[in-house]
Structure 1
Amino acid sequence: MSRIPKYNAVGLSPTVWGAEERSDIETNLEHIHEALSAATWLSGLELPVKLAVLPEGALQGFTDEVFDMDHATYREEIAIDIPGPETETLGEYAKEFETFVVASAKEKAPEYDEKFYNTAFVIDPDGDVIHTHRKVTPLLPVERSVSPHDVWDDWQEHHGDDLDDLFPVVDTEIGRLGISLAIEGAYPEYVRGLAMNGAEVVCRIACPEPLVANESWAIQNRARALDNTCYVVAPNLGTYYVTPDADTPVDTFGGGSMVVDHKGNVLAEHAYGAGSSYCAATVDVEGLREFRTSSPLANWIKDLRTELIQPIYDRELYPKNLWLDRQPVDHETYAEEVTEAQIERMVEEDIFVPPYHERDGEE
């Protein structure tokens, strides 16, 4: 195994036009090329750019979520194949700029005729898709993507339930890469899954307001890096046009693109979100490896007492197989059938305590 030189990682914050049909993705791909060209050129003046990370939604936007689209209709009209023409275009960019590219898209689920996943992927400098990760928890209650947990019985049968099947990591010439797809990064367990599978650089791709302005995004990124002794490259989207023809954009995501080191230090941050930009910082994988294997204290996961942790999760909470035999439902129905039921369940199991006005008169 050869030594990995220091390199620069860039997190792109591109402008995005929400796709109404699959062909609209081309506009976003053209803009991504412009952003990549600028980011790799300027950031490459210091050290070679070997990792370029795109935020969630950079290809298609969030049309399914914003307009509460029928799941099967979105799959038919906007979701893509991976690999496919769109990843081939990104592969050409990876070859041109001699960098690994991390991106994501709503993907036609290969196992189903009418379902789609939210899938992140890594493209190597040869232009090949070398890694995929299906988002394990959508942005609830609005995102319509299917999680492996939503089709759990099928997923276990066809894919499995090991770390590689749920929190995959790819070993590359720039280190071991894992992807935390947007809201996944809000849950410590899902990033811990990547770390326990060997991830050294976690790409945490995007998060909407109000989670940026209230600092949840930054706190989560720094905590996930510190908790797991890993780098976190966390780009957020720039300006967002809800449709291809929209006249006025919305700063839906609020900026905050950042790179965090394995000690939780913010190495670079692009604070504002309006417009297109990027952040960049140096990644030292060999330094990370030395720290992990020499620190007696701050490489926390070596000290996990797993027998103590297991009882925390030794119960079913969120229901599995929700969409195994039907399509994801609209926002209102989901709120009634799932969100409200989950809150009631947490109260019934004495995990949550209801507020006073709901407790008044109990005795």
Structure 2
Amino acid sequence: MCEDTLEEECQRRNLLMIEPYTAVALQTPHHNCQTPQDWDKNIETICEAMDAAIWMAALQYPVKLVTLGEAAIQTFADSRLGFDHAVAANEWFNEFPGPELDQLRKKAQEHRTFIAGQCRARDSKLHPDRYFNIAFILDPEGEVIHRYHKNQVYRNEHSTTPHDIWDSFTKRYGSDLNAFFPVADTAIGKIGTLICMDRSYPETARGLAMNGAELLYMPSYPEPWVGMGWYEIHNRSRALDNTCYVVAPNCGAWYLNRDSKVPMDVFGGKTQIVDYMGKVLADHQAGDYSFVSAIIDIEALRYYRANAYFGNWMKDLRVEVYRTIYEEPIYPKNLWMDEPPQARPVRDKHLRESIRRLQERGVYTPPAHGRGRDDLGVDVPGGAQPPVPAKEKP
């Protein structure tokens, strides 16, 4: 960009200066869901929490961003009960965006705020019998302005990822940063999204930052790893590494069964908001029903990025050096092109093969006391069936 053009851009940006605002991260309980109709209980709780949190947090600056934990709407029933993937895609989950967002759309309009959340849903433009773990952003008009397909899932999650259907995904969405790391350019800054397991891979947050993200929505992580400190390490590291704000709502306690009298704190709390230098701005340590809020100053972040010689890491990134790290593939792409994601024993087999592949390359050194576990996991025999026919979907 030439000097005159840069000056014009700066003048335009001055007219669009983003005033500091408050961001809220909700930590809501998961009511047990046996059918999609049960999602309404969680949506009602989310809306109630949103009203209360905004009422309090707006005493500082106006609330312009509200974020939800992963599975705040639908829980993790598909993963925990081992639903057959194709059946769940067609009889449990909706085409994105589905009616489960309707009440949240109204709340975005009512409070004149952006809302970032997550749901599992179909994307029939890719595959009619697959469902994906999708992060979304609603604008203050209630419109969906962003979707992100989760890139990394852990072995108990059944969602399809872009990498699993690489050929179909790249044909539909392309293979650039916008395809895998989309960023929403909004009136409150540039927002990128990633979900749970994504945070375990620094490349995900870096991809979003390299696509312009200034704030990362990074929901959820489970115990026992939250209690080991991993969640906070991720939050602060991803913020510091990429000079980004991180808003990280974790899940509240979970009613594991319909007749559960007491919910279990499966996730350990630690809902946090972290600034672009890795400083924790807000931290709720318990796994109960609550929220945190903090002031977001995007203009301060932009000034820091434009002027700091240390702590502003991407400015002198030697990308040619790091490209060599990823020349050889590790986990196979297109794994679920021809069939839906399979039960855990099948996925465990692929994980074992990847570990052996790394050992053969000398990346991992095998342990002296044995070559590793040979168990192929435990799953619901045959895959559980969602207990609701398609005609009863909300």
TM-score if structure 2 supplies the norm length?
0.89
Aligned to 2:362: 350
Aligned to 1:149: 163
CA distance in 2, matches of 1:94, 1:31: 15
Once the 2 structures are TM-superposed, how far is the Cα of residue 271 of structure 1 from its aligned partner? Answer: 0.4
Aligned to 1:120: 135
- Secondary structure of 1:241's match? coil
1:265-319: CA deviation from partner (whole Å, max 9, x where unpaired): 000000010x310111000000000000000111101111010000000111110
Aligned to 2:291: 278
Aligned to 1:324: 337
CA distance in 2, matches of 1:124, 1:321: 34
For the 8 Å contact 1:6–1:47, the answer to whether it is kept is: yes
CA distance in 2, matches of 1:18, 1:220: 28
CA distance in 2, matches of 1:232, 1:143: 24
* Equivalent AA in structure 2 for residue 125 of structure 1: P
Once the 2 structures are TM-superposed, how far is the Cα of residue 211 of structure 1 from its aligned partner? Answer: 1.6
* Equivalent AA in structure 2 for residue 134 of structure 1: H
1:231 aligns with 2:245: yes
Among all aligned residue pairs of Structure 1 and Structure 2, give the percentage whose two residues are the same amino acid.
Answer: 41
Aligned to 2:379: none
Alignment of 1:237-256 (within 5 A): 237-256=251-270
Aligned to 1:20: 34
Q: Paired residues, what number?
A: 356
Aligned to 2:389: none
- Secondary structure of 2:226's match? coil
1:287 aligns with 2:277: no
Once the 2 structures are TM-superposed, how far is the Cα of residue 20 of structure 1 from its aligned partner? Answer: 2.1
- Secondary structure of 2:315's match? helix
Aligned to 2:112: 98
Aligned to 1:136: 151
1:50-93: CA deviation from partner (whole Å, max 9, x where unpaired): 00000110010001111111111221232122222112221101
* Aligned counterpart in structure 2 of residue 83 of structure 1, from 97, 112, 119: 97
CA distance in 1, matches of 2:96, 2:55: 28
* Aligned counterpart in structure 2 of residue 56 of structure 1, from 59, 67, 70: 70
Once the 2 structures are TM-superposed, how far is the Cα of residue 133 of structure 1 from its aligned partner? Answer: 0.3
CA distance in 2, matches of 1:77, 1:157: 27
CA distance in 2, matches of 1:158, 1:243: 39
Aligned to 1:39: 53
1:202 aligns with 2:216: yes
- Secondary structure of 1:104's match? strand
* Equivalent AA in structure 2 for residue 308 of structure 1: V
Once the 2 structures are TM-superposed, how far is the Cα of residue 332 of structure 1 from its aligned partner? Answer: 2.1
Deviates more, 1:63-72 or 1:306-315: 63-72
TM-score if structure 1 supplies the norm length?
0.96
CA distance in 1, matches of 2:114, 2:365: 47
Once the 2 structures are TM-superposed, how far is the Cα of residue 245 of structure 1 from its aligned partner? Answer: 4.1
CA RMSD of aligned residues (A): 1.1
For the 8 Å contact 2:96–2:123, the answer to whether it is kept is: no
Aligned to 1:11: 25
CA distance in 2, matches of 1:145, 1:245: 27
